[in-house]
Amino acid sequence: MNIITTTPPRTDGPGTRERPSREEAEAAIRTLLLWAGDDPEREGLRDTPSRVARAYREFFVGYDTDPVAVLERTFEETDGYDEIVLLRDIRLESTCEHHMAPIIGRVHVAYLPHRRVVGISKLARVVDAYAKRLQIQEKLTAQIANTIQDVLEPRGVAVVIEAAHQCMTTRGVHKPGVTMVTSRMLGAFRDNAATRRELLAMIGNRGSTILSE
């Protein structure tokens, strides 16, 4: 088996601002607790700043992940396989950059190989690398598709995201049960209607079940 490694430039790395210390982060969380109207020194909240700081490192681990590097290891030995590769129903957990509220849903990622393929777990890792940051769904959809296109150079890439935004369901207009759908089609998926229809048939009508699990 021939393995190819490439070193393309980063497409969307983390910012260059220095990260505050853990102590500074916990102090900011205490301030927010006071702003909410509670007492950060009471028993139930005494360890909350530490817990929230740890949770934030988990929520936003994508800032420490290079999505291009995730895709660098590819495989040539495919016996000429050139049909759609689809990873369906990837769990999405992200955070709205406007209100820092959860975005929960599913991502479908597909590509048409051209000479090489990548391990399917790497596609899910690319989703997480971008999702585990402050996001808007439209940008997230484009980032995933553009990175796969740039690194793998396939004949086409498609990304479809279906998600519920808690900034809409738990505040503001308070509209639960609403799902936002975005898509990014590149190459053959954009230019060839038959290929696009084949992909959408493979994904299926999943909007009614996406959040029921």
List, by residue number, the catalytic residues. 96-99, 137, 165, 167
State the Cα–Cα distance between residues 129 and 16, nearest whole angstrom.
Answer: 17
Pairing of strands 134-135, 85-96: parallel
Q: Is-contact 110 85, C-beta < 8 A?
A: yes
- How many contiguous H segments (helices) and E segments (strands) does the chain have? 8, 8
* Ranges of H-type helices in 60-109: 67-70
State the Cα–Cα distance between residues 201 and 212, nearest whole angstrom.
Answer: 21
- The pair phi, psi for residue 140, each rounded to 5°, is -60, -45
Region of residue 108 (phi > 0: left; psi between -120 and 50: alpha; otherwise: beta): beta
Orientation angle between helical segments 22-36 and 48-59, nearest 10 degrees? 110
- Does residue 121 sit in helix, strand or coil? helix
| 19-22: long-range contacts, CB 8 A cutoff, minimum separation 24 | 22/53
